[in-house]
């Protein structure tokens, strides 16, 4: 995996770790309501980091595909193999970003409603689980995608040097 792909996954991993800290801080709010502002601030930072990380993965994968198609030199079957390698990572990143946004919307709607803590807790657990799965799927997908691109470059260089 190249440096940019590692940075993308690192941002999403930091966001997920911060989401776990926010999750833990949420339990402190039940005991000590004065810690609610910290919980909210952590949630905001975690949400922004996660959205940045996942959207960066999405833009990278879509941009790499467009660049390959525009550059030419790959036949349709090779472009399909690149698409297949990126599809799982794209779906996981989109689902993870949607889960974060949905959780924020649920948390905002449920704020200060009696008995809403259980729904908020379940939403948080599902969101954290989706982030963890998306991290693994995207890391593997980006590594596979990058490996495929590197192999294509090496084959192109070998063919270029053999032709000259």
Confidence of residue 30 (pLDDT cuts 50, 70, 90): confident
Q: Residue 80 class from Cβ within 10 Å (0-12 exposed, 13-18 middle, 19+ buried)?
A: exposed
pLDDT of 163 reads 55
pLDDT of 14 reads 95
Q: What does the alpha-carbon distance between residue 94 and residue 121 come to, in Å, rounded to a whole number? A: 22
Does pLDDT of 52 surpass 90? Answer: yes
Contact 113/47 with Cβ under 8 angstroms? no
pLDDT of 19 reads 92
Does pLDDT of 21 surpass 60? Answer: yes
| CA triple 136-93-23, angle to 5 deg | 75
> How would DSSP label each residue in 61-112?
HHHHHHHHHHH----HHHHHHHHHHHHHHHHHHHHHHHHHHHHHHHHHHHTT
| CA triple 111-109-119, angle to 5 deg | 75
Does pLDDT of 81 surpass 60? Answer: yes
Break the chain into its structural domains and give their ranges: 3-163
Q: How far is CA 127 from CA 42, 66, 77, in A?
A: 15, 31, 36
pLDDT tens figures, 84-107:
778 889 999 999 999 999 999 988
Q: Which two tokens stand for residue 58?
A: 């999405």
Q: In this predicted model, which residue has the larger pLDDT, 73 or 82?
A: 82
Q: In this predicted model, which residue has the larger pLDDT, 72 or 50?
A: 50
Q: What does the alpha-carbon distance between residue 117 and residue 135 come to, in Å, rounded to a whole number? A: 27
Q: What does the alpha-carbon distance between residue 98 and residue 74 come to, in Å, rounded to a whole number? A: 33
What is the pTM for the complete model shown?
0.82
């Amino acid at each position: 995996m190249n440096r940019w792909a590692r940075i993308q996954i690192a941002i999403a991993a930091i966001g997920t770790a911060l989401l776990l800290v926010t999750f833990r801080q949420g339990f402190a709010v039940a005991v000590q309501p004065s810690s609610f502002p910290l919980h909210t601030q952590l949630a905001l930072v975690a949400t922004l980091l996660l959205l940045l990380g996942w959207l960066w993965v999405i833009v990278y994968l879509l941009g790499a595909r467009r660049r390959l198609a525009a550059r030419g030199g790959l036949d349709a079957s090779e472009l399909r193999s690149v698409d297949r390698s990126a599809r799982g990572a794209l779906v996981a990143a989109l689902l993870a970003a949607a889960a974060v946004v949905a959780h924020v919307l649920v948390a905002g709607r449920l704020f200060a409603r009696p008995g809403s803590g259980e729904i908020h807790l379940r939403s948080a657990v599902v969101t954290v689980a989706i982030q963890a799965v998306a991290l693994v799927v995207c890391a593997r997908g980006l590594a596979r995608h990058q490996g495929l691109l590197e192999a294509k470059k090496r084959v192109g260089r070998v063919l270029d040097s053999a032709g000259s």
